[in-house]
């Protein structure tokens, strides 16, 4: 059922080779007034699948997350923008809350943070450091613009911000191979970002940070309540921290050696 009263909503997706995820994501959002899909160079059937749900499909050049988000926003025409990822799924509870929120006369907020409930290797994680993971996803068109961070990009809102109560479902890592590949890419981006900020990686960052992060995620934030899934997530997340700081250390060494050779 469409949002037939009041303010209208544009759901916006950034897509790259998401043929496995798109039917679930787009099917869960068919009630919005407009669906925008910005494809950044897929070589699978993503574009063909997207066109089954919307005619508003665009091919854009990849210049980074922030630029892609801002380009995609430019194709939206409705009052509100709802950002979603292809590996996410709308729930009936969140749908109801969103429709009520954008048509509320009592709340004048410009943007809303939405939490995501992660499904990691088949396990739903309701504790630890991964949930709730809030991101700015719903905002008035013209009131938000994405920053240019390499990872963990965010939409900067001009106006009041609030949090919605319900969450998106996030099918974050279906297989271990998928996670390892993503971890390799993201740790490289994170290390580069730290390097550009002038950060260094001491030996203590490699020895202390990973176990501290494990204890924070598994014990302090009660990841143990998620059972084996919580344990696996905590172990792999601590490894992510180790790899990120190791890459930062190696990057600084490479740059230093290059400067000396030059």
Q: Supply the CATH number for residue 16's domain.
A: 3.90.550.10
Residue range 219-234: mean pLDDT, rounded: 97
Say what percent of the chain tops pLDDT 90: 83
128 and 180 together in one domain:
no
Residue 197 is predicted with a pLDDT of 92
Rounded average pLDDT over 170-188: 96
Per the structure, the count of domains in the chain is: 2
Instruction: Supply the pLDDT for residue 95.
Output: 97
Single residue among 151, 173, 195 that ends a domain in this structure: 173
Does the pLDDT value for residue 227 go beyond 50? Answer: yes
Conformation bin of residue 182: beta by default, left when phi > 0, alpha when psi is -120 to 50: alpha
- Mean pLDDT, to the nearest integer, of 207-222? 97
Mean pLDDT of 188-216: 95
**Average pLDDT, integer, range 34-51:** 96
pLDDT at 154 over 70: yes
Q: Which of 56-60, 149-153, 157-161, 209-213 is predicted with the least confidence, judged by mean pLDDT? A: 149-153
The answer to whether residues 218 and 166 belong to one domain is no
Tell whether the model's pLDDT for residue 5 goes beyond 60.
no
Domain end, chosen from 140, 173, 206, is at: 173
Q: What is the pLDDT of residue 3?
A: 52
**76 shares a domain with 194:** no
Residue-level pLDDT at 1: 43
Inside any domain, residue 96: yes
- For residue 49 the two structure tokens come to 């699948």
Answer whether residue 175 shows pLDDT above 90: yes
Query: Are the C-beta atoms of residues 234 and 217 closer than 8 Å to each other?
Result: yes
Of 173, 206, 223, the one marking the end of a domain is 173
pLDDT digits (tens, 9 = 90+) for 99-118: 999 998 878 899 999 999 99
Contact call for residues 94 and 166 (beta carbons, < 8 A): yes
Asked whether residue 141 carries a pLDDT value surpassing 90, the answer given is yes
**156 and 254 co-located in one domain:** no
Q: Are residues 52 and 155 in the same domain?
A: yes
Range of the domain at 117: 9-173
79: left (phi over 0), alpha (psi -120 to 50) or beta: alpha
The answer to whether residue 1 sits within a structural domain is no
pLDDT of the residue at 262: 52
User: What distance in Å separates the CA atoms of residue 177 and residue 179, rounded to the nearest whole number?
Assistant: 5
Q: What is the C-alpha separation between 90 and 261, in angstroms, rounded?
A: 54
The two three-digit tokens of residue 94, written as one number? 């969140």
Of 197, 202, 114, nearest to 150 by C-alpha is 197
Asked if the model's pLDDT at residue 260 lies above 60, the reply is no
Please identify which residue in the block is written with the tokens 């429709």: 99
Residue 2 within a domain: no
% of the chain surpassing 70 pLDDT: 94
pLDDT bracket for residue 133 (50, 70, 90) = confident
pLDDT at 4 over 60: no
Residue 205 lies inside a defined structural domain of this protein: yes
Between the CA atoms of 75, 81, 83 and 86, what dihedral angle is there, to the nearest 10 degrees? -60
Question: Rounded mean pLDDT of 30-47?
Answer: 96
Same domain, 33 and 97: yes
**pLDDT averaged over every residue in the chain:** 92
């Amino acid at each position: 059922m469409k949002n037939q009263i009041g303010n209208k909503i544009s759901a916006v997706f950034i897509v790259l080779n998401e043929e496995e995820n798109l039917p679930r994501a787009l099917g869960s959002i068919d009630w919005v007034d407009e669906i925008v899909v910005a494809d950044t160079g897929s070589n699978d059937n993503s574009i063909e699948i997207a066109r089954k749900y919307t005619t508003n499909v665009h091919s854009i050049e990849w210049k980074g997350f922030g630029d892609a988000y801002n380009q995609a926003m430019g194709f939206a025409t409705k009052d509100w923008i709802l950002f979603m990822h292809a590996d996410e799924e709308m729930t009936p509870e969140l749908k109801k809350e969103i429709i009520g929120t954008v048509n509320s006369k009592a709340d004048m907020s410009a943007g809303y943070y939405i939490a995501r409930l992660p499904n990691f290797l088949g396990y739903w994680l309701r504790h630890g450091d991964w949930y709730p993971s809030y991101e700015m996803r719903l905002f008035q068109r013209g009131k938000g613009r994405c920053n240019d961070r390499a990872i963990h990009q965010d939409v900067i809102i001009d106006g009041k911000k609030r949090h919605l109560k319900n969450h998106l479902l996030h099918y974050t890592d279906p297989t271990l191979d998928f996670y390892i590949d993503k971890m390799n890419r993201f740790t490289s981006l994170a290390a580069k970002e730290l390097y550009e900020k002038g950060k260094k990686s001491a030996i203590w960052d490699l020895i202390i940070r990973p176990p501290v992060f494990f204890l924070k995620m598994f014990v302090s934030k009660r990841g143990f309540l998620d059972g084996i899934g919580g344990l696996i997530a905590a172990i792999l997340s601590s490894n992510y921290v180790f790899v990120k700081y190791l890459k930062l250390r190696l990057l600084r060494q490479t740059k230093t050696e290059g400067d000396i050779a030059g």
